[in-house]
Structure 1
């Protein structure tokens, strides 16, 4: 009897007989993204040639990982996202995290910094230092990086609309210490497309914003050999309500758009593609997340090889950072979020991430306390050194279920990308409101499943404790920090050479008015001269205008 006949016999005589007497928990079993799954998977569910679909770690199509030995050589970068208040407080938190075993910095900025406003702007006042560090002048970056060796620690900066300003501040800090900018290692997010799609922290219209982003990629390819000039981000797309399929489809579609725009500059693909990086979420359904990461890696390798004719193996590799799902955390019984984030981190590692942030258990309530942040680091360290999952490359590879689910997610994601391509690419799709509408529909569908109890959420729609009283310590930013920050801003303005600042801003303005001038050298000069993020963004606002999102619903 061959396997197909055996499976059919088992279904009819064993499985159906069993469940006729013992009802299953649910009528339909589905993943978080609504993909229906069978009770068991066999070789019949795995299609295609092994070498074509999977290959081996470190080789095309990189389904099984981008490095031959994965974590047997070195584990992923433990990179906790942190930053709040003023530069001094953030520096203290960074040094404590590094002493606890964090291996890379990940810097959070407050909303005024993200939106190009100085802390004394009337629109900024109540948000100074609240959700990240206030960073308005390069000397603030120098304070944040006090006693931190810039030539030994990689730095990731979650910044988009003002990415060039913030990277210029890091360059200025390094050079003030006698270090060449070429030694800088890290990432600047710089993914403006996902802001229009999901996060909404944009300043300028799409076309000049894309020019701004590509200027950073072009400059970095020539002058910052160790720097990743963009982190193409699916995380925010997922957090806005997208399912796993939409997350990778929209993220890869964004990546395609950035590659095309960079190629239009005349830069050969193999000169910049090895420095592109990605950023994904990890949710609690372990197998769907692992399959998602594997599918994304295989798809990107195919896109770079077949669509853009990339030759270097490094150009085909999808390198990605992962953050556990913030939207998955619950304010109810927050301590159980430690279990959620552990499962999510495990999924990221099993999926082959290069860098990982584990959310602290209290983040549904406020910024993490020092204790919660340290526990999040310990979660990663236990997975790395005690679980055994880091000892083998792609340990779930070959699982009939994982391979079927990887294929299923990939097939569904290609269909979405095909729709976007028919619209003329991601910018056109955004202007038509396509990804925004798809995410809104997905978010509604997921929330409806939670409210109806179809999608389990422990402590919310099952095992709810009505008498639960929160006793978790909640972190609060000291409001006095705002005044300290503004006083220092005024001091910088008084002590700088204002004629030099004015001249550098004039040069920045003239460069912005030209279509074929890379802004980055002019931005570095302006920041080094003492210009603030509000002043440089103000110049670009005057030239490019501000974007007002059209109503699409």
Structure 2
């Protein structure tokens, strides 16, 4: 992209500037740090960047144009000039009724997509009346036991008009089946259902530990979802490969990209092994990334991830359809960056993180409420979080041109650096036999844990400033309203579940569960019998228990997981 003689002249001029201007100024006035580094990578940050720092950049091969390979500058030709990102606000409020009310509120306030949080028992495949569920029903999201709960969540919300993202993994097939069943009840053609099912169990083994089954049958469930949706719900994203939780566990930006894409590789390989055509299923793979505090590093991270995934899909899997190479992603602002101290500061953090996601070309975005370090967000804090996105979209100007930071010598250098380090990590994963062996051995978890430990040490020793936590502290904290969980919620949910069980056709449920068992023992796709079972009001746990009995439960080797 640059003339060699021009680059030589720039290098010579920069050296002269350093000697005659920069270094004397540092000697005279000093500088804030002895060394400047990016927020999570620890990549050294030079005082000035020039074309010489991106001398190897080739425009067509490395940047290109929006909507064209390698998609560095965006996956669509018009990006936000044609359509803004989907503004999602994560919501799951204890009961189905409360969640329905919050969804309706968000739609009225201008949210363009729904994002559904489930409580811990639902995420683990337990019903609200299970002994394992005591004390957790409706605490971290909505409690879903049967299709009756799902019907209540979406009462008055036409599914043909909304896009719904569901953060559910080990029991993803069951919750997707319920969504399809609600659509059927509403008379919505399955081909018109839009949304995303997270369905990413690999990251559960790495960072969250909300798994149920061993890896092999878990991967079968994932690929059965791929196959079912390709035929039945072609507008529904069949997986959201999640780097968000990897980053929340403490990873660097490059590790987030590398381990997320390595998980993506594992899913693509499993689908191909199951006989699926890469160009048929890969376009419905989506990704989920974290948006952290270092605005320019995060922007570069998203650009690097897009470029690297396009190259992986072409080089490894011979994907021919450009749609199979587009990395489409949802971003959420960093939950781990929220502080309980001076919660108002979180509004500022979220705004900058959202800016990074938009500058990086996100397809959808969730902005955290300021109070989420303490409780589920209140309506007021959710509205402020949504308004943050709307102000970015309509007042800031950052959505008016595509990839506005492209060509910045610093941002392009960061993009190259993150891609290079992520590629090196993926190559190490390959040497270890792939992502599954790397996770089962604990290597991935140890790499993340080492970074998290070092970051915490830096905070405790004051090397890393967290405003309001270890610097600029105040003695008094203003009183804030927090979302409260109804103490009778768990009892009421159990009573509703008991009523559904008493009213349903028990023989029909037994027959449907027997068909799920037969499919699990054979090689039939599990989704059709699961859809039938949930339509007969089989519970989440009843379906998951059948699969537990057939597939077993995952028990990691001692020391293999760290989170």
Q: Is 1:293 aligned to 2:302, yes or no?
A: yes
**Residue 10 (structure 2) aligns with:** 3
Q: CA deviation at 1:513?
A: 1.6
Pick from 526, 536, 547 the counterpart of residue 540 of structure 1: 547
Q: Is 1:477 aligned to 2:485, yes or no?
A: yes
Q: How does 1:381-420 map to 2 (within 5 A)?
A: 381-420=390-429
* 1:73-96 CA distance string (max 9 Å, x none): 110000000012110000001100
Tell me the number of residue pairs that the alignment of Structure 1 and Structure 2 aligns: 551
Pick from 274, 297, 310 the counterpart of residue 265 of structure 1: 274
Q: CA deviation at 1:325?
A: 0.2
Counterpart CA distance in 2 for 1:468 and 1:550 is: 46
**Residue 218 (structure 2) aligns with:** 209
Q: SS in structure 1 opposite 2:240?
A: strand
* 1:173-206 CA distance string (max 9 Å, x none): 1111222222110000000000000011001111
Flag structure 2 segments of 5+ consecutive residues without an equivalent.
Answer: 1-7
Q: Is 1:194 aligned to 2:203, yes or no?
A: yes
Pick from 165, 170, 185 the counterpart of residue 161 of structure 1: 170
Q: SS in structure 2 opposite 1:2?
A: helix
Counterpart CA distance in 1 for 2:372 and 2:414 is: 31
Q: Is 1:115 aligned to 2:151, yes or no?
A: no
Q: How does 1:267-286 map to 2 (within 5 A)?
A: 267-286=276-295
Q: CA deviation at 1:296?
A: 0.2
Q: Is 1:332 aligned to 2:307, yes or no?
A: no
Pick from 193, 200, 222 the counterpart of residue 184 of structure 1: 193
The runs of 4+ residues in structure 1 deviating greater than 6 Å are none
* 1:430-483 CA distance string (max 9 Å, x none): 111111111111101111121222222100111112x12241111111121222
**Residue 160 (structure 2) aligns with:** 151
**Residue 550 (structure 1) aligns with:** 557
Counterpart CA distance in 2 for 1:30 and 1:454 is: 12
Q: SS in structure 2 opposite 1:113?
A: helix
Q: Is 1:499 aligned to 2:503, yes or no?
A: no
Q: SS in structure 2 opposite 1:547?
A: coil
Flag structure 1 segments of 5+ consecutive residues without an equivalent.
Answer: none
Q: SS in structure 2 opposite 1:389?
A: coil
Q: Is 1:461 aligned to 2:470, yes or no?
A: yes
Counterpart CA distance in 2 for 1:260 and 1:28 is: 42
Counterpart CA distance in 2 for 1:321 and 1:48 is: 27
**Residue 36 (structure 1) aligns with:** 44
TM-score by length of 2: 0.97
**Residue 67 (structure 1) aligns with:** 76
* 1:247-303 CA distance string (max 9 Å, x none): 000000000000010011221111011100000000010000000000000000001
Q: CA deviation at 1:517?
A: 2.1
Deviates more, 1:341-350 or 1:471-480: 471-480
Q: SS in structure 2 opposite 1:505?
A: helix
Counterpart CA distance in 1 for 2:457 and 2:525 is: 47
Q: Is 1:25 aligned to 2:32, yes or no?
A: yes
Q: CA deviation at 1:308?
A: 0.7
Q: Contact 2:241/2:288 (CA < 8 Å) preserved in 1?
A: yes
Q: Contact 1:333/1:468 (CA < 8 Å) preserved in 2?
A: no
**Residue 357 (structure 1) aligns with:** 366
Q: CA deviation at 1:529?
A: 1.4
**Residue 346 (structure 1) aligns with:** 355
**Residue 151 (structure 2) aligns with:** 142
Counterpart CA distance in 2 for 1:288 and 1:476 is: 36
Counterpart CA distance in 1 for 2:48 and 2:188 is: 57
Pick from 89, 97, 108 the counterpart of residue 88 of structure 1: 97
* 1:384-421 CA distance string (max 9 Å, x none): 00000000000000000000000011111111000001
Q: CA deviation at 1:49?
A: 1.1
Counterpart CA distance in 1 for 2:188 and 2:503 is: 25
TM-score by length of 1: 0.98
Q: Contact 2:440/2:556 (CA < 8 Å) preserved in 1?
A: no
Counterpart CA distance in 2 for 1:253 and 1:369 is: 36
Counterpart CA distance in 2 for 1:32 and 1:313 is: 33
